[in-house]
């Protein structure tokens, strides 16, 4: 390690930081088809599609294609449970709010099982879109 260049050290550190969950992301998260089906219904019933597309580009909010690859399941759970708390404490959430010109997601008031269903749907929709 004595002879490691600064650039190599930076790459190692950056890779670890950027790649937390990288093994899980590379494989994609396992999807429960029943949860994914319920998540799709929730996505439509709760009108998530009014602000978010999946592979159809940005709307009032980010396109969610690949969101389960870009964000950990834990981050998504926290975000879907309480967006306001995340906006107060999470730098990525703050960055997203800035990127979308101050528009923030309303609290969808989801149960934990609703959140799991939505995450499964987003992972499944991403997988299907990439086939």
Residue 34's pLDDT band (cuts 50, 70, 90): very high
Burial of 79 (0-12, 13-18, 19+ CB in 10 A): buried
Give the Cβ contact number of residue 29 at 10 Å: 19
Residue 103 maps to a domain: yes
| pLDDT band at residue 131 using 50, 70 and 90 as cut-offs | confident
Does some domain include residue 120? Answer: yes
**How confident is residue 40, by pLDDT bands cut at 50, 70 and 90?**
very high
Q: Is residue 58 part of a domain?
A: yes
Which domain does 120 fall in, by range?
Answer: 6-129
CATH of the domain at 41: 1.10.760.10
What's the pLDDT tens digit per position in 83-113? 999 999 999 999 999 999 888 999 999 999 9
Within a domain: 52: yes
pLDDT at 66: 96
The 10s digit of each residue's pLDDT in 65-87 is 999 999 999 999 999 999 999 99
Residue 41 belongs to a domain: yes
Q: Any idea what DSSP says for residue 107?
A: P
């Amino acid at each position: 390690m004595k002879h490691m260049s600064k650039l190599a050290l930076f790459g190692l550190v950056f890779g670890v930081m950027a790649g937390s969950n990288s093994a899980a992301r590379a494989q994609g998260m396992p999807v429960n088809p029943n949860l994914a089906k319920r998540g799709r219904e929730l996505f439509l019933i709760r009108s998530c599609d009014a602000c978010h597309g999946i592979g159809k580009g940005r709307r009032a909010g980010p396109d969610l294609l690949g969101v389960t690859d870009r964000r950990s399941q834990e981050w998504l759970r926290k975000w879907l449970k309480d967006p306001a708390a995340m906006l107060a404490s999470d730098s990525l959430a703050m960055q997203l709010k800035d990127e979308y010109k101050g528009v923030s997601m309303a609290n969808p008031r989801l149960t934990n099982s609703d959140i799991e269903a939505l995450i499964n749907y987003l992972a499944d929709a991403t997988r299907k879109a990439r086939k």
